Structure 1
């Protein structure tokens, strides 16, 4: 990824690798911080981040156990992921942030924003996981996740996961594509994914019981309109949950990515960029 690399130190001493884009000279826009999906690294944001960098400072980073960040020996519960993000924001020292999260990154930025609301100018959630969708708690879904993880482990150990991933990331710029393939295809990367996956149902249940209070922070939610392998019923249920979530914000906005399934940041990066820029002064 382009920009200036750095390391933020968490409250318990772990290093989080990030890349900071300075944005245009003389600009006063909030810093846009990108939160990846479950088990994913900073480089998947390349198409969106490079477009947004024309208007604002940007930061992409790797969560613990992923990419170039340090390992974390503690359980990777959602609250711990959000605490790490808060530590990153404090380290960066900007006055205001727009937080952008995709998939599992959506709940992460919601919790972080509720912890430091005075720092957050707005949120953009891209096809996020949402506790309002009951299907997330289905035993069938949990079983499918375990099967998928087992397959990824086998492919990674055999050195074949990199090849399997290539069609998914072909839209990325060459440097970012190379980073994703190198950093997300190893056995260690799969175990980083497993650490986050282990408490998904528990974490979503906790969110359902006690959702983060976002007050009047503007919230935009982008939903994929196509099934993308998840089935029409699942897609309808998830998008309905997204619409309800957006409706809870006094400045909520729900947008359909009509040409996309779940990987909106790769299939419609211009739409994601536009929605981020709507929140910039």
Structure 2
């Protein structure tokens, strides 16, 4: 474990037969711990510019999923059910006690949804940042140009394959149930390469995620592409603060 200052630590945490790289910011101070999960192929760096902002008012956990960043590889399939189990074991090993405020970007939103579904009593809130809808393949992908679809399918070489990714979306659909926790869905309003029709469909599918919870709120980041935490970071920070 490395302690850079009293508000930041980095460490490798043993999970199953490998180690996950973790960064810990701030102090809990009787508030929920914010746990952040990045998109497909991304790792902790995706949150680096907003983690210090959040750490000003509570504890923040960033980590690299197995096989990404500074984490070791896992021998388990790269599907969300295994990732959720690994995250749970990591938090337990670090003695970071609930409640957790979960924040997931893109594919990380699928993981955080499943975590909240599996451990609802440990979760105080859920924030989905341009999260991948469970019916992306069936409803959204066909609306995009053939070249986009081709490139999309070829990207799955960093962390699991296309079948595993789609298996995670299927799992999210199969296990979907209504939660009784605060939920904020943040949708990117200026997606790159999207036609007007595709952007409208994307926003509609994001709004459909609101039904995951009995207590939900929808925000459109009008000037953001997919990485809202880069384009309009304070929208994400303010959403987290509102649930803290």
What is the TM-score normalised by the length of structure 2?
0.87
Q: Which structure 2 residue ranges, 5 or more long, are not aligned? A: none
Q: Does 1:232 align with 2:237?
A: no
Residue 257 of structure 1: CA displacement?
A: 0.4
For the 8 Å contact 1:98–1:122, the answer to whether it is kept is yes
Change over 3 Å in CA distance of 1:66–1:196 after alignment to 2: farther
Matches for 1:37-186 after TM superposition, within 5 Å? 37-92=39-94, 93-133=96-136, 134-136=138-140, 138=142, 140=146, 142-147=149-154, 149=155
Residue 14 of structure 1: CA displacement?
A: 1.7
For the 8 Å contact 1:122–1:217, the answer to whether it is kept is yes
Q: Does 1:5 align with 2:10?
A: yes
Residue 232 of structure 1: CA displacement?
A: 2.7
For the 8 Å contact 2:26–2:57, the answer to whether it is kept is no
The whole-number CA distance in structure 2 between the counterparts of 1:6 and 1:116 is 25
2:169 to 204, 222, 229: 204
Residue 205 of structure 1: CA displacement?
A: 2.7
Q: 3-state SS of the aligned residue for 2:213?
A: coil
| More RCO (CA 8 Å, sep 6+) | 1
Q: Which structure 1 residue ranges, 5 or more long, are not aligned? A: 150-189
Kindly indicate which of the two structures has a greater share of residues assigned to strand: 2
Corresponding residue number in structure 2 for 1:259: 223
Superposition RMSD in Å: 2.2
The aligned length equals 234
The whole-number CA distance in structure 2 between the counterparts of 1:81 and 1:196 is 14
What is the TM-score normalised by the length of structure 1?
0.76
1:192 to 158, 169, 177: 158
Change over 3 Å in CA distance of 1:42–1:144 after alignment to 2: same
Give per-residue Cα distances to partners, 1:138-197, cap 9 Å, x unaligned. 4956532234x3xxxxxxxxxxxxxxxxxxxxxxxxxxxxxxxxxxxxxxxx8433x254
The whole-number CA distance in structure 2 between the counterparts of 1:259 and 1:56 is 28
- Out of 80-89 and 58-67, give the one that drifted further: 80-89
